[in-house]
C-alpha cells in the first residue's frame, strides 16, 4: 500500500492497482492483451457491454449463476436465455449463431462452468463472422493457463472476465479481472468510471456514452498482489484435492462433472447425482455431520420468471437439478480431507436409498 499512501491515491486506478494489473497480465495475459480490474465480476461483465454501447437483447446461458443475467440487466440490456450442451453445460457455437440470427442480439455471454477451461474458438469465429461481441464469463477460472489458444489481444470481439471474490481460488475479498485487447482498455476504464473519460473537453463524445462505478480500490489490489505471490501453491493444493475427490468417489453413485485436473483451479468439485432427490438427501445427510454442501447454478435461469428464452432449456434444468458441489480448499491437511471425503461418500450412497441418518 505504500505507493497509494505516498501519493494519497486510494481508488480510480491508482498505483497499486496499476501494479496489480501488470502482474496479472504477466501471469496470465497474451500478446496484445491488457488487464482491467473492477470492483466485482458483475460490474466487469456489465462494463464489457457498456464499453461497446451494446443495447437490446444479449444471449445468456441458462446454466450459470444468476449474476450473469444481472450483469446484462445492469448494462441496460435484456438477457435472452439459451440452453446448453447436456454434458459440458456450455452453450454451443451453433446455438449462438442461431440465437444471433433469430433475435438480432449484438452480444453473447458464454460461461465456463465452475472455472473449467473450455475451447471457445468456434464461438469466437461465429462472432467474428457476424460482427458480434463475445464475453467469456470464466468467474472461477483464474489461476491456470488460459486454454483458448486462438483468443488473444488481436481478437477484437472477445473479452474474458474472471471473478476475484473471496469464494474463488484467486480470492481477494471482492474484485474482477477483465482480459481484453489493448485497444479496448480505455473504453473499459471509462465504462467503470461513469463514462467520464469518453467526454472530451471540446465536447466530442465517443463510446461508452455512460458508465457505472466499477473501479477496484487500492486496498483490494494490494491483497491481490499478495495472493498472486502464493497462487501457484494454492492451485497445486486445490488440484491435488480434486484428484483425491476423484479417487474417493470411484464406484460410487456420484459422477464427476469433469476429471481433467489441470483444466481448472477448482473453486469446488462438481458432481452429478441421479436426481434432485438424491442431491437434497445428500445435503441433508452431510449437514448432520456439520458439512455444508451446495448446489451451484440452481435454479436454472431457464426456470426463473421474467426472462425471455430463445427456446426451452431442458438440458440446463437437468444439470441444475442434479449437480452438487463438494468443497475444495487451498490449505487442508490430508487427514481432514480424507475424513470429509469418506463422510460425503457415505452420505451420497445413503441418498440412493433415501435414508437420512
Whether domain 2-228 has CATH 3.40.640.10: the reply is yes
Tell me the average pLDDT across 173-189.
Answer: 95
The pLDDT confidence band at residue 356, using thresholds 50, 70 and 90, is very low
Hey, which residues does 327 pair with through a beta bridge?
A: 268
Q: 3-class secondary structure for 85-142? A: CCCCCCCCHHHHHHHHHHHCCCEEEEECHHHCCCCCHHHHHHHHHHCCEEEEECCCCE
Asked if residue 7 has pLDDT above 70, the reply is no
Per-residue pLDDT tens digits for 94-117: 999 999 999 999 999 999 999 999
CA distance 253 to 271: 10
pLDDT at 306: 83
Q: Which CATH number fits domain 231-352: 3.40.50.300, 3.40.50.2000, 3.30.70.3270, 3.90.1150.10?
A: 3.90.1150.10
pLDDT at 17: 93
CA distance 234 to 237: 5
- Residue linked to cell 500500500: 1
Tell me the average pLDDT across 299-308.
Answer: 87
CA distance 57 to 60: 9
pTM of the entire predicted model = 0.93
Following CA atoms 141, 185, 15, 212 in sequence, which dihedral angle do they give, to the nearest 10 degrees? Answer: -80
pLDDT at 311: 86
Each domain of the chain, given as residue ranges in start order, spans 2-228, 231-352
Through-space distance between the first and last CA atoms of the chain, rounded to whole angstroms:
51
What residues contact 143, with CB distance under 8 A and at least 6 apart?
169, 170, 231, 234, 235, 265
B/e letters for 18-50, b = 16+ CB within 10 Å, e = fewer, are ebbbebbbeebbbeebbbbbbbbbbbbbbbbbb
Amino acid at each position: 500500500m505504500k505507493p497509494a499512501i505516498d501519493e494519497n491515491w486510494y481508488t480510480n486506478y491508482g498505483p497499486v492497482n496499476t501494479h496489480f494489473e501488470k502482474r496479472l497480465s504477466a501471469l496470465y495475459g497474451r500478446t496484445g492483451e491488457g488487464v482491467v480490474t473492477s470492483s466485482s465480476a458483475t460490474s466487469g461483465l456489465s462494463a464489457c457491454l457498456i464499453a461497446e454501447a451494446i443495447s437490446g437483447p444479449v444471449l445468456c446461458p441458462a446454466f450459470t449463476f444468476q449474476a450473469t443475467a444481472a450483469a446484462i440487466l445492469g448494462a441496460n440490456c435484456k438477457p435472452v436465455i439459451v440452453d446448453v450442451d447436456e454434458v459440458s453445460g456450455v452453450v454451443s457455437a451453433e446455438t449462438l449463431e442461431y440465437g444471433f440470427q433469430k433475435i438480432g442480439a449484438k452480444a453473447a455471454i458464454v460461461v465456463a462452468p465452475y472455472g473449467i477451461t473450455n475451447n471457445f474458438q468456434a464461438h469466437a469465429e461465429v462472432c467474428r463472422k457476424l460482427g458480434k461481441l463475445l464475453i467469456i464469463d470464466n468467474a472461477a477460472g483464474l489461476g491456470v493457463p488460459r486454454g483458448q489458444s486462438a483468443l488473444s489481444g488481436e481478437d477484437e470481439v472477445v473479452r474474458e472476465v474472471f471473478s476475484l471474490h473471496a469464494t474463488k481460488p484467486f480470492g481477494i475479498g471482492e474484485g474482477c479481472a477483465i482480459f481484453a485487447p489493448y485497444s479496448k482498455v480505455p473504453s473499459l476504464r471509462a465504462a467503470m468510471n461513469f463514462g467520464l473519460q469518453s467526454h472530451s473537453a471540446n465536447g466530442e463524445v465517443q463510446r461508452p456514452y455512460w458508465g457505472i462505478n466499477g473501479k477496484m480500490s487500492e486496498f483490494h489490489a494490494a491483497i491481490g498482489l499478495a495472493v498472486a505471490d502464493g497462487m501457484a501453491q494454492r492451485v497445486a493444493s486445490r488440484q491435488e484435492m480434486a484428484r483425491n475427490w476423484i479417487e474417493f468417489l470411484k464406484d460410487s453413485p456420484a459422477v464427476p462433472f469433469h476429471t481433467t485436473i489441470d483444466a481448472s483451479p477448482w473453486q469446488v468439485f462438481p458432481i452429478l447425482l441421479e436426481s434432485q432427490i438424491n442431491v437434497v438427501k445428500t445435503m441433508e445427510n452431510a449437514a448432520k455431520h456439520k458439512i455444508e454442501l451446495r448446489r451451484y447454478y440452481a435454479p436454472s435461469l431457464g426456470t426463473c420468471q421474467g426472462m425471455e428464452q430463445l427456446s426451452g432449456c431442458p438440458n440446463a434444468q437437468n444439470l441444475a437439478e442434479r449437480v452438487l458441489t463438494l468443497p475444495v480448499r487451498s490449505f487442508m491437511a490430508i487427514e481432514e480431507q480424507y475424513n470429509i471425503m469418506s463422510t460425503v461418500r457415505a452420505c451420497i450412497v445413503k441418498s440412493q436409498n433415501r435414508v437420512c441418518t
